[in-house]
């Protein structure tokens, strides 16, 4: 029913079967997460922005795996800290709407980076 | 219905209202994502693993915001590259199950890090 | 005499005076280092490549601080693991020269990213 | 004479011979740098803090390479932005001395993380 909930349960089982919960402290999981985020970075670091929007199929497949890995560790950290990711995301968007009112920040990169 | 789909649409609107799509190349979004992952790291870098499992309420709230930010940028990158995050995650778990058979890797950190 | 050696000694003293060595495991220092690398990323994430080469003075000053922070943590990790950074760097360049022979990789981004 | 200056010149030559300056914008180099910092993280993510201080020889060699890579990209970014790393590092230590007076922050992790 809830897609993230399904993944959470599947990852719990995955860790339990391997006896890996002992390594899955939030501290360690945050390290694994950023290491996956860096593998995403590696795909883009020598590409132009335009090239990054038009990936060849084999590279796109690799990027899919990196995005998946980031999501999996994100779900694991959230699970370990008993955080509801979807609710947290909606709350954060609300905060961002107040922090960056459309009227004030619309348009220029300058405004974007300064807010 | 689909929680990630809802967030995707809300983020599209958020960017459109601010005319920020011009900045949201996959390359740039991958940078923003790792910057958020690093804010998560900062919360844990001087804590022990045990401390990282028992965050005080105010710190837990901040961590919620970081996890939310990571998820939001993850959804944005996936949207820009037309990737289905949930499907990608299930595919990746399947690959991991083959890569790390429970019988072979069960238990020790040594095995864990070497596979 | 040796600029990095001076910094190493100064940082040892800095940590000792604050009784911070207890937090400076290589694991923790690697987290602090990547958090500083992410602050560098944040300065560049919404800029074009061309803009990133022409920073206004105030932004350049901030970037100086981020580069300094990265160097300081790099020196600390190396110190804790008794690694000679300069020697390691020269060895790595030698390896890179073998890995990426100028004749073979010269020029295109394609070659660059595939090697 | 100056070890970092020597490395800077050697890296300039390395890039020129491969015609890679076209890829070495500060934006791109900051991405390459954080990707190397993440490879360092990967060595430590499933280790305890204590284990991270006692690396077996083969792992220590790999860590040497990661530290070297970080230093090399750090030197390249600084070169492209005409920043003197050593001077920037000394300035930053001075700032940190003011920000974290030894008397005030000495000792506890709590103080350490809150300043």
Q: B2, B17, B9, B1: which is closest to B72 by C-alpha?
A: B9
pLDDT tens sequence for chain D (115 residues)? 589 999 999 999 999 999 999 999 999 999 999 999 999 999 999 999 999 999 999 999 999 999 999 999 999 999 999 999 999 999 999 999 999 999 888 865 554 556 5
The pTM for the full model equals: 0.95
Residue B19 CB-half CA count within 13 A? 10
Q: D71, D89, D90: which is closest to D8 by C-alpha?
A: D71
DSSP B101: -
Contact D35, A41 (CB under 8 A): yes
A48 φ, ψ (degrees, to nearest 5)? -75, 165
Residue D17 CB-half CA count within 13 A? 13
Mutation choice for A interface testing from D26, D35, D36, D51 by most A CBs within 10 A? D35
Question: How far is the C-alpha of B81 from the C-alpha of B112, rounded, in Å?
Answer: 32
Give pLDDT, residue C104. 85
Smallest Cβ–Cβ distance between C113 and the set A34, A46, A113 belongs to: A46
Contact C35, B45 (CB under 8 A): yes
Question: How far is the C-alpha of A35 from the C-alpha of B12, rounded, in Å?
Answer: 27
Q: In the complex, which subunits touch B with 3 or more CB pairs below 8 angstroms? A: A, C, D
CB atoms within 10 A of CB A54: 12
Question: How far is the C-alpha of A112 from the C-alpha of A114, rounded, in Å?
Answer: 6
Residues of B in contact with C28 (CB under 8 A): 45-46
Nearest CA in chain D to B32: D31
Is some CB atom of chain D closer than 8 A to the CB atom of A37?
yes
Mutation choice for D interface testing from B29, B30, B33, B34 by most D CBs within 10 A? B34
DSSP D11: H
CB atoms within 10 A of CB C12: 15
Tokens coding D108: 């506890």
Q: In the complex, which subunits touch D with 3 or more CB pairs below 8 angstroms? A: A, B, C
Mutation choice for C interface testing from A45, A113, A114, A115 by most C CBs within 10 A? A113
For the CA atoms of chain D, what is the radius of gyration? 18
Residues of B in contact with C38 (CB under 8 A): 34-35, 37-39, 41
Smallest Cβ–Cβ distance between D109 and the set B31, B46, B113 belongs to: B46
The number of C-beta contacts closer than 8 angstroms across A and C is 15
Q: B31, B8, B88: which is closest to D29 by C-alpha?
A: B31
Tokens coding A71: 């999501």
Question: Is the model's pLDDT at A15 over the cut of 90?
Answer: yes
How does pLDDT run across C5-54, given as a tens digit for each residue?
999 999 999 999 999 999 999 999 999 999 999 999 999 999 999 999 99
Record: contact C106-D18, CB cut-off 8 A: yes
Can you tell me the ipTM of this complex? Answer: 0.94
Q: What is the dihedral of CA A54, A86, A31, D96, to 10 degrees?
A: 100
Give pLDDT, residue B111. 47
The CA distances from residue C82 to C6, C87, D14, D58, D66, in Å, are 15, 12, 28, 15, 14
Is some CB atom of chain B closer than 8 A to the CB atom of C45?
yes
Q: D41, A90, A2: which is closest to B40 by C-alpha?
A: D41
Question: How far is the C-alpha of C18 from the C-alpha of C70, rounded, in Å?
Answer: 20
Which residues, at least 6 apart from C108, have a Cβ–Cβ distance to it below 8 Å?
none
Ordered alpha helix ranges (H), chain C: 3-18, 26-44, 49-52, 57-80, 85-99, 102-105, 109-114
The percentage of chain C sitting over the pLDDT mark of 70, rounded to a whole number, equals 91
How does pLDDT run across A29-84, given as a tens digit for each residue?
999 999 999 999 999 999 999 999 999 999 999 999 999 999 999 999 999 999 99
Q: B114, B92, B81: which is closest to B8 by C-alpha?
A: B81
Q: What is the dihedral of CA C17, C18, C23, C24, to 10 degrees?
A: -40
C residues 54-113 near D, CB within 8 Å? Answer: 55, 60, 63-65, 67-72, 74-75, 77-78, 80-81, 83, 85-86, 88-93, 95-97, 100, 102, 105-107, 109, 112
Question: Is the model's pLDDT at B80 over the cut of 50?
Answer: yes
């Amino acid at each position: 029913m809830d897609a993230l909930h399904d993944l959470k349960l599947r990852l719990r089982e995955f860790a339990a079967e391997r006896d890996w919960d002992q390594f899955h402290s939030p501290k360690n999981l945050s390290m694994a997460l950023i290491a996956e985020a860096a593998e995403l970075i590696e795909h883009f670091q020598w590409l132009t922005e335009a090239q990054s929007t038009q990936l060849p199929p084999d590279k796109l497949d690799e990027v899919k795996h990196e995005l998946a890995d980031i999501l999996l560790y994100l779900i694991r950290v959230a699970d370990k800290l008993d955080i509801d990711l979807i609710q947290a995301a909606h709350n954060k968007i609300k905060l961002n709407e107040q922090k960056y009112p459309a009227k004030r920040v619309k348009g220029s990169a300058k405004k974007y980076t300064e807010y």
